[in-house]
Amino acid sequence: MLKKKLDTGSDRKAKDLRYRDQYFKGAGSVVFDTSKKGFVPLPIVLRKGLRVLSAAELRVLIYLMTRASKYGICYPTLEEIAYDLGMNGRKNLTPHIRKLEEKHFIKTHTASGKKFFLVHDPRIAFEQLARDGKINEDQLFEINELLGDLNREPISTGPAKSK
Supply the pTM of this predicted model.
0.82
Q: Considering the domain 40-163 in this protein, what is its CATH number? A: 1.10.10.10
pLDDT in tens, 77-111: 999 999 999 998 899 999 999 999 999 999 999 99
pLDDT of residue 2: 46
Backbone angles phi, psi at 114, to 5 degrees: -115, 135
- Sketch the domain layout of the chain as residue ranges: 1-31, 40-163
pLDDT in tens, 51-67: 999 999 999 999 999 99
Q: Determine the average pLDDT of the residues in 65-75.
A: 95
- Quick one: what percent of the chain has pLDDT higher than 90? 72
Task: Calculate the alpha carbon distances from 2 to 11, 13, 18 in Å.
Answer: 9, 15, 20
Question: What number of other Cβ atoms are within 10 A of residue 83's Cβ?
Answer: 14
Nearest residue to 59 (alpha-carbon basis) of 67, 69, 27? 67
